[in-house]
A = this chain, B = another copy of it.
């Protein structure tokens, strides 16, 4: 990989945003495009909420809330308190500061602008140099099938706190969607030198991106290396309900399952040091494996993991991985 090669990162919310932030600190802004899952987007009190775009925006702007793990720093809650006082449905927590983004974005969308345009505008206003790009400007809605019926993602995730057991996951309207222009451009950019799948929930955060028709083929056809960073460490999710969902879907809660899930799309895998014993099993899938610390608590952790992922991309490029012909050797049957 050349030092001016471009990196495309696929990310969900908070967990992925940590690595995206790490990538943002080690790569010059024009080299990094972060594609955000928008399957979790929903309307709440008429406001368009893009949870993963916002997690990325706040993390990269350095204004995310470290205490809660979501939302804005220095937040206040007067608006929600008033909604509650009035007996207005207030299951989704919108801080007063956070609300500025939701009101502004909704205003942009109602004025006929796209989510991509609104996001570009917001990243600029927040002083974020790297590109944060919604996966699509079409509406894709992640729905989860549970014992209690089909639920919109935010109902499952926030209102019911991931309690219902998941039997299946759907990406409504996905088949009619197209990648956003900026996502397409990043996929087609001749300078693209690698793809990083962030340590987000593979089923709920990355699969919606890959469900957009043509996206997996576009990634494969570029012949650049693709590495996934594990969201699972020692059988537990670093963040969120990934492990719980894997168990409910009947999948062994292991990085190996994640690697198998991504299958022939990836050429490399970043595994946590604590899971080193299964490195060989992952290599058996035909993947180059980097073993390193993947739990990101400090900015140093985030940078180190970002370096690890980019270094693996570079190693794969040098080895000829990621060019269409040799890659075939590693495809699973």
Interface residues of A (CB under 8 A from B): 45-47, 75-76, 78-79, 81-83, 86-88, 95-97, 99-100, 103-104, 106-107, 110-111, 122, 125-126
Contacts and interface: CB of A to CB of B under 8 A. Distances in A.
A100 B125 contact: no
Given A46-B111, A82-B96, 5 more contacts: A76-B96, A78-B96, A79-B99, A86-B126, A88-B125
A95 B81 CA distance: 13
A106 B45 CA distance: 8
A295 to B, nearest CB: 31
A46 B76 contact: no
What 3 pairs between A and B have smallest CB-CB spacing? A78-B96, A46-B107, A82-B100
Contacts of A122: 86
A119 to B, nearest CB: 13
A324 to B, nearest CB: 44
A121 to B, nearest CB: 9
A45 B103 contact: yes
A122 B87 CA distance: 10
A83 B96 contact: no
A40 to B, nearest CB: 20
A185 B107 CA distance: 35
21 contacts: A46-B103, A46-B107, A46-B111, A47-B103, A76-B78, A76-B96, A78-B78, A78-B95, A78-B96, A79-B79, A79-B96, A79-B97, A79-B99, A79-B100, A79-B103, A83-B104, A86-B104, A86-B122, A86-B126, A88-B125, A99-B99
A47 B100 CA distance: 12
Given A76-B96, A96-B78, A46 B106 contact: yes
B76 A45 contact: no
Contacts of A99: 79, 82, 96, 99
Contacts of A107: 45-46
Contacts of A95: 78
A1 to B, nearest CB: 35
B46 A110 contact: yes
Contacts of A46: 103, 106-107, 110-111
A76 B45 CA distance: 21
A100 B86 contact: yes
A14 to B, nearest CB: 20
Residue from the set A78, A81, A97, A126 with the largest chain B CB neighbour count within 10 Å? A78
Contacts of A78: 75-76, 78, 95-97
A101 to B, nearest CB: 8
Contacts of A100: 79, 82-83, 86, 88
Nearest to A94: B103
Contacts of A125: 86-88
A47 to B, nearest CB: 7
A82 B97 contact: yes
Nearest to A126: B86
A192 B46 CA distance: 38
A120 to B, nearest CB: 14
